[in-house]
C-alpha cells in the first residue's frame, strides 16, 4: 500500500481506522480480481474467511447434488439396460454410488470436525477433497456419451444429450468454488464431444455446435456466479468485521472514555444508558433506563444558571432538531454536574421520527478548572487582591453607573504607592519584599468597608474603588490606610517600616472612564509625593494645568535650545579674604519670546524626567568653557551637571572632548554635583569622578548639609570643594547654631584639604561672620546676581574695588588684637 493510501486510511488520531481500511482494500481488490479463482487475490486476513464461505456454500448443496447424481445413475441403468452393456452400466452405477458416498461422508466429516472453527489447513483440505471428488465424478459421467451415444437408437441418443446437458448444468450447484465447477463440467463436456465424434453422423455436427454454445454459456455463467458469490461473501465478511470493530470501539469508548453514548425513543425515554453515564449522574442504570431526558433538568428551581443552555436543549428536543456541544447543569445526588451534550434525531424504517442519539461528556472538573483559572486570572497571587485586569472591568462598570446616577461623586478611586518599599526590597531581599506586599494586602482587606474593593496594579502600586460615598468618606479611608500601613512589619524576625502616599479622584466629578480616573488619581498621587510623602491629596484641575505646562515646556525647550533662546548667565564667586573674584558659576536662563522667563527650578526637573537634560548639559558645558576663555586666566567657571550625566559611561569622554575643542585648561573647569548623584551609586559615577579629577577638573559638592548623609560622602568620593547651602546663611544672625554648623564644616574641610564656598550671602553682616570663620569664598546677591557673559569682565573689576575696603579693616583689627 502506498504512503498516500496509508495516510488516508488513518483515523482521526493518526491511527488506523479498521473499517475504513477494510472498505478501501475490498473495493480495490475486487477491482483487481482476475483469473479462475478470485480468492487468490485477497489479503490473508480475508482469504481464509472467503474460502471458508465459498466451501460452506458448496457443501450445503452437496447432499442434494449427491442424491440427484445417484438418481440419474439409476435412471441411466434402467433406460439403457436393454441396449447397452450391463457390465458398463453396473460399473457406472457403482462408481457414481461410491463417489456419492465418499462426497457425503467427507461433507459430514468436515461439518462435524471443523464447523465454526475452520483453519487454513482444514479449508485447503476440504477444497482439495471437493475438487478431487468432482473431477472423479466428472470423469465417470464423461464415459457415458462416449459409450452410449453411438450404439443407441435416435430416441436414446436424445436421452443421452438431455442427461449430458443436465449434468453440465450441475456446475452451477458447485459454482461458488470455481475450480470444483470446472473440474466436474469440463470432463463431461469433453466426453460429449468425443461421443459425438465417434458417431460420425451429420447430425452430430449440429449437436456439437449447439453443445459448444451451451458449454461456453455455462462456463461463462459459472465464472460470473463464482465471482458474485466471492464478492457477496467478502461483503458479508467485511460487514461482520466492521460490526465487530465498531462494537469493540463502542465498548472501549464507553468503558474507558470520559464521554458516553445515549439514546432516547420518540417520547424522550432513555433506551441506552451506559455505566459511565449512570456514574456521572449518580443514579442506577435501572432508574435511568426508564427515565425521560427532560427529567434530568427537573428540581433545579426557577433561578437561571450562568452558562447553562438547558432551555435551548429542551427546545431542540421538542422540535426534533440536532444540537451540538450544549452545556447544561444537572443536579444529582452527588451535587451539581455540568454536562456537554450533542445529539441528532434518527428515523425508523417508515421515515418517522424515532428518537435521538448522541454523545455526552462530563465537564464538571473542566468547569471547576476554568473557574479556578478565571479566579487566578483576576487575582494577584502575591496579595490575594484583585489584579489590574479586574480593576479595569470593575472600574468600567462603576464609572458607567456613576455617570448614570448623576454629577455627585459616587465612586472614589484611591491610588496608593508605597513609600520606602524599594529600600526594604533591596536591603532584606525580594522574598521579604513579597511577604511585605502580602501583609500590606491583609491590612488593606481589614480596613475596607463593604462598599470598597482593593486591587494590586503592579509593583508597589495599589488601588481602592469605593462606591456610593462622598469625597469625605474617601479621605477618611485614606487617613486610615496611611495610619495602618506605616505601622511596623515583622518579616522573618526582621522589622521593616514603610509608608504610603495616596491620590484620590472621583467619578463622575473628575472623570467618567477608568483610564481618565486612574490618570487623575495618579496626578493627585504625584502631588502627595511632592508634598513630602506619607499623605493623601485630592485631584484638582490645577494638577492638570501643571501637567499640561510640563508637556508644553518639554516640547518648547527642544526648539528653544536650537533657536538660541537659552543662554548662560554667570554669578561670581568672591574670596572672603581679599575680595577678588575667583570664579563664576554658570546658570541656565531661558526667556520665551512673548511669554517671559522660565525658572530653572521648573525647567531642569522636566528635562531630567525626559532625558533632554543630557543635551542641555553638553551645550552648557561647551558654552561655558568657550565664554570662560574671555576671562582672566585665574578665574574658574563652574557648571552644574545633572546626576543623569554621571550615570552615563561616556560622560568623562564628553568633558575631555569639550576641553580639547575649546582649549580651556582643565583646572579652570569646576563641575558642580549634588548628593543625589550618589543615591544611585552605579559603577559609572565613581569612574567618572576619578577620571575627571585625574584630568585636572575640579569637583564641587553643591547644597552641602541638606542631604541624608553628606559627611560620609566626603570620605567616600573625591571632591575639591563643598558649597554650604543658603539655608544655613539665611538665619545666620538669628540662629547661632547655624554658625556653629558652618564652623564645624570648616574644621572638617581644612583637615580634608577641601575648599568651602557659602551660597546665598546677601548682607555685609553675613559676609563678615563667614570671613571670621575663615570661609574661602562666597556668592550671593551681596556681590551680584547672575549676569550675561558680556558683563562679566567689568563686573569682576567692580567687585574687586567694592570689596577691598571691607576686607582691609577687619585685617587691621586682627593685627591689633594679636599685638
Does residue 708 share a domain with residue 794?
Answer: yes
* CATH number of the domain encompassing residue 664: 3.20.20.450
Question: Residue 197: pLDDT above 80?
Answer: no
Structure confidence at residue 35 (pLDDT): 36
Q: Is the pLDDT of residue 252 over 60?
A: no
Residues, the chain? 819
Residue 93 belongs to a domain: yes
- For the residues 255-266, what does the mean pLDDT come to? 72
91 and 141 co-located in one domain? yes
Q: Is residue 26 part of a domain?
A: no
pLDDT at 489: 93
Question: Comparing C-alpha atoms, which of 175, 108, 99 is closest to residue 138?
Answer: 99
Q: Is residue 689 part of a domain?
A: yes
| Residue 274: CATH number of its domain | 3.30.450.20
The string of DSSP codes covering 248-265 is HHHHHHHHHSSEEEEEE-
Distance CA 407, CA 402 (A): 8
**What's the CA gap between 743 and 737, in Å, rounded?**
10
Q: How confident is the model at residue 253 (pLDDT cuts 50, 70, 90)?
A: low
Which parts of 528-635 are beta strand (E)?
536-538, 566-575, 581-592, 596-598
User: Which of 234, 268, 301 finishes a domain?
Assistant: 234
Report how far residue 578's alpha carbon sits from residue 576's, in angstroms, rounded to the nearest whole number: 6
Q: Average of pLDDT values for 688-712?
A: 80
Q: How confident is the model at residue 284 (pLDDT cuts 50, 70, 90)?
A: confident
Predicted pLDDT of residue 582 = 93
Shared domain check, 283 and 359? yes
Between 275 and 44, the more confident residue is 275
Picking from 694, 693, 680, 669, the residue whose alpha carbon sits closest to that of residue 645 is 680
- Whole domain around residue 725: which residue ranges? 556-818
- Where among 329, 347, 370 does a domain terminate? 370
pLDDT at 265 over 90: no
Least confident of 286-295, 328-337, 449-458: 286-295
Torsion from C-alpha of 233, 236, 237, 238, nearest 10 degrees: 120
385 and 360, same domain (yes or no) = no
- Asked whether the predicted pLDDT for residue 389 surpasses 80, the reply is yes
**Is the pLDDT at 16 greater than 90, yes or no?**
no
> Which of 151-165, 356-370, 803-817 is predicted least confidently?
803-817
63 vs 91 pLDDT, higher one: 91
Q: Which range among 4-18, 145-159, 752-766, 791-805 shows the weakest confidence by mean pLDDT?
A: 4-18
- Rounded to whole angstroms, the Cα distance separating 132 from 152 reads 31
Do residue 90 and residue 124 come from a single domain?
yes
Read off the pLDDT of residues 526-565 as tens digits, 9 standing for 90 and up. Answer: 889 888 889 999 998 887 777 778 888 888 888 888 888 8
User: Does the pLDDT value for residue 445 go beyond 90?
Assistant: yes
Q: Is residue 24 in a domain?
A: no
The whole-number average pLDDT for the span 702-719 is 69
Of residues 728, 808, 727, 737, the one with CA closest to residue 771: 808
Same domain flag for 120 and 227: yes
What whole-number distance in Å separates Cα of residue 277 and Cα of residue 340? 12
pLDDT score at 145: 83
Task: Looking at the structure, tell me whether residues 366 and 396 fall in a common domain.
Answer: no
DSSP 196-241: HHHH--HHHHHHHHHHHHHHHHHHHHHHHHHHHHHHHHHHHHHHHH
Q: Which tops the pLDDT comparison, 399 or 20?
A: 399
Q: How confident is the model at residue 621 (pLDDT cuts 50, 70, 90)?
A: very high
Q: What is the pLDDT of residues 315-347, one digit of tens each?
A: 888 888 898 888 888 888 877 888 888 889 988
Q: 767 in a domain, yes or no? A: yes
If asked whether residues 569 and 522 sit together in one domain, one would say no
Average pLDDT, the chain: 80
For residue 815, the model assigns a pLDDT of 30
Kindly report, residue by residue over 638-688, the tens digit of the pLDDT. 999 988 888 888 889 999 999 999 999 999 999 998 877 776 556 788 888
More confident position, 154 or 509: 509
| pTM of the entire predicted model | 0.50
pLDDT tier at 379 (50, 70, 90 boundaries)? confident
- Listed residue (414, 387, 392) closest to 525, CA to CA: 414
- Confidence check: pLDDT of 408 > 70: no
Within this chain, do residues 279 and 223 fall inside the same structural domain, yes or no? no
Same domain, 443 and 566: no
**CA 500 centroid distance within chain:** 36
Burial pattern 1-18, b for ≥16 Cβ within 10 A else e, equals eeeeeeeebeeeeeeebb
Question: Residues 666, 739: one domain?
Answer: yes
Of all residues in the chain, the percent with pLDDT exceeding 70 is: 83
User: 244 lies in a domain?
Assistant: no
Last residue of a domain, one of 337, 370, 403: 370
Contact between residue 574 and residue 628 where contact means Cβ atoms under 8 Å apart: no
What is the pLDDT at residue 605? Answer: 84
DSSP H/E element including 364: helix 364-377
For residue 809, the model assigns a pLDDT of 44
pLDDT at 25 over 50: no
pLDDT band, very low/low/confident/very high, at 813 (cuts 50, 70, 90): very low
User: If pLDDT is split at 50, 70 and 90, which confidence band does 164 have?
Assistant: confident
pLDDT average, residue stretch 96-102: 84
The enclosing domain of 458 has a CATH number of: 3.30.70.270
600 in a structural domain: yes
Residue 472 maps to a domain: yes
State mean pLDDT over 611-634.
92
**Domain count across the chain:** 4
Residue 188 and residue 114 share a domain: yes
* C-alpha cell, 250: 463502542
14: pLDDT strictly greater than 50: no
Amino acid at each position: 500500500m502506498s504512503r498516500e493510501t496509508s495516510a488516508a486510511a488513518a483515523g482521526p488520531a493518526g491511527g488506523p481506522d479498521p473499517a475504513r481500511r477494510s472498505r478501501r482494500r475490498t473495493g480495490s481488490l475486487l477491482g483487481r480480481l482476475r483469473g479462475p479463482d478470485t480468492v487468490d487475490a485477497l489479503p490473508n486476513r480475508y482469504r481464509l474467511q472467503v474460502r471458508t464461505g465459498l466451501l460452506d456454500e458448496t457443501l450445503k448443496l452437496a447432499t442434494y447434488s449427491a442424491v440427484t447424481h445417484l438418481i440419474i445413475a439409476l435412471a441411466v441403468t434402467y433406460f439403457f439396460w436393454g441396449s447397452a452393456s450391463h457390465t458398463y452400466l453396473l460399473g457406472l452405477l457403482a462408481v457414481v454410488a461410491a463417489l456419492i458416498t465418499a462426497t457425503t461422508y467427507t461433507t459430514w466429516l468436515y461439518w462435524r470436525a471443523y464447523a465454526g472453527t475452520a483453519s487454513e489447513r482444514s479449508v485447503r483440505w476440504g477444497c482439495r477433497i471437493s475438487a478431487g471428488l468432482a473431477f472423479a465424478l466428472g470423469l465417470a459421467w464423461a464415459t457415458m456419451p462416449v459409450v452410449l451415444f453411438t450404439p443407441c437408437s435416435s430416441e436414446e441418443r436424445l436421452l443421452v444429450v438431455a442427461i449430458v446437458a443436465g449434468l453440465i448444468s450441475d456446475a452451477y450447484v458447485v459454482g461458488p468454488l470455481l475450480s470444483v465447477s470446472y473440474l466436474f463440467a469440463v470432463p463431461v463436456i469433453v466426453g460429449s464431444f468425443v461421443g459425438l465424434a465417434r458417431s460420425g453422423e451429420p447430425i452430430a455436427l449440429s449437436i456439437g455446435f449447439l453443445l459448444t454454445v451451451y458449454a461456453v454459456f455455462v462456463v461463462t455463467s459459472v465464472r460470473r456466479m463464482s465471482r458474485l458469490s466471492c464478492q457477496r461473501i467478502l461483503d458479508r465478511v467485511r460487514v461482520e468485521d466492521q460490526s465487530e470493530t465498531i462494537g469493540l470501539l463502542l465498548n472501549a469508548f464507553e468503558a474507558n472514555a470520559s464521554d458516553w453514548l445515549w439514546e432516547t425513543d420518540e417520547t424522550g425515554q432513555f433506551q441506552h444508558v451506559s455505566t459511565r453515564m449512570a456514574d456521572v449522574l449518580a443514579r442506577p442504570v435501572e432508574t435511568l433506563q426508564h427515565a425521560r431526558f427532560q427529567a434530568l433538568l427537573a428540581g433545579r428551581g426557577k433561578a437561571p444558571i450562568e452558562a447553562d443552555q438547558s432551555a435551548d436543549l429542551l427546545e431542540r428536543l421538542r422540535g426534533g432538531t440536532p444540537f451540538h456541544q450544549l452545556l447544561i447543569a444537572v443536579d444529582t445526588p452527588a451535587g451539581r454536574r455540568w454536562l456537554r451534550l450533542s445529539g441528532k434525531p434518527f428515523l425508523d424504517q417508515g421515515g418517522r421520527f424515532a428518537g435521538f442519539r448522541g454523545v455526552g461528556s462530563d465537564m464538571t472538573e473542566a468547569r471547576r478548572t476554568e473557574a479556578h483559572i478565571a479566579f487566578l486570572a483576576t487575582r494577584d497571587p502575591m496579595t490575594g487582591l484583585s489584579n489590574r485586569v479586574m480593576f479595569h472591568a470593575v472600574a468600567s462598570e462603576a464609572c458607567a453607573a456613576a455617570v448614570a446616577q448623576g454629577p455627585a461623586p459616587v465612586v472614589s478611586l484611591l491610588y496608593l504607592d508605597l513609600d520606602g518599599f524599594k529600600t526594604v526590597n533591596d536591603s532584606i531581599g525580594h522574598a521579604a519584599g513579597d511577604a511585605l506586599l502580602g501583609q500590606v494586602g491583609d491590612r488593606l482587606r481589614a480596613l475596607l468597608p463593604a462598599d470598597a474593593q482593593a486591587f494590586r496594579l503592579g509593583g508597589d502600586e495599589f488601588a481602592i474603588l469605593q462606591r456610593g460615598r462622598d469625597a469625605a468618606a474617601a479621605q477618611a479611608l485614606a487617613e486610615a490606610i496611611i495610619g495602618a500601613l506605616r505601622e511596623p512589619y515583622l518579616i522573618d524576625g526582621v522589622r521593616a517600616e514603610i509608608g504610603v502616599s495616596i491620590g484620590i479622584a472621583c467619578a463622575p466629578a473628575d472623570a467618567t472612564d477608568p483610564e481618565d480616573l486612574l490618570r487623575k488619581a495618579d496626578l493627585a498621587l504625584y502631588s502627595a509625593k511632592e508634598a513630602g510623602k506619607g499623605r493623601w491629596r485630592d485631584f484638582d484641575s490645577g494638577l492638570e494645568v501643571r501637567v499640561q505646562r510640563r508637556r508644553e515646556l518639554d516640547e518648547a525647550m527642544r526648539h528653544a535650545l536650537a533657536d538660541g533662546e537659552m543662554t548662560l548667565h554667570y554669578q561670581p564667586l568672591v574670596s572672603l579674604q581679599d575680595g577678588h573674584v575667583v570664579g563664576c558659576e554658570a546658570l541656565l536662563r531661558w526667556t520665551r519670546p512673548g511669554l517671559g522667563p522660565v525658572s530653572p527650578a521648573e525647567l531642569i526637573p522636566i528635562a531630567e524626567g525626559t532625558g533632554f537634560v543630557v543635551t542641555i548639559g553638553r551645550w552648557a558645558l561647551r558654552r561655558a568653557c568657550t565664554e570662560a576663555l574671555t576671562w582672566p586666566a585665574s578665574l574658574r567657571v563652574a557648571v552644574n551637571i545633572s546626576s543623569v550625566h554621571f550615570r552615563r559611561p561616556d560622560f568623562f569622554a564628553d568633558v575631555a572632548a569639550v576641553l580639547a575643542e575649546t582649549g580651556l585648561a582643565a583646572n579652570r573647569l569646576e563641575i558642580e554635583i549634588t548628593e543625589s548623584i550618589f543615591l544611585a551609586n552605579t559603577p559609572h559615577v565613581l569612574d567618572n569622578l576619578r577620571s575627571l579629577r585625574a584630568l585636572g577638573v575640579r569637583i564641587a559638592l553643591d547644597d552641602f548639609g541638606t542631604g541624608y548623609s553628606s559627611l560620609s560622602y566626603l570620605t567616600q568620593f573625591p571632591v575639591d570643594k563643598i558649597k554650604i547651602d543658603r539655608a544655613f546663611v539665611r538665619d545666620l544672625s538669628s540662629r547661632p547654631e547655624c554658625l556653629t554648623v558652618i564652623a564645624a564644616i570648616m574644621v572638617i574641610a581644612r583637615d580634608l584639604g577641601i575648599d568651602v564656598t557659602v551660597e546665598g550671602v546677601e548682607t555685609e553682616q553675613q559676609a563678615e561672620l563667614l570671613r571670621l570663620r575663615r570661609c574661602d569664598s562666597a556668592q550671593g546677591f551681596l556681590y551680584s546676581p547672575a549676569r550675561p557673559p558680556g558683563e562679566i569682565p567689568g563686573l569682576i573689576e567692580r567687585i574687586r574695588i567694592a570689596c577691598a575696603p571691607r576686607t582691609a579693616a577687619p585685617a587691621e583689627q586682627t593685627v591689633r588684637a594679636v599685638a
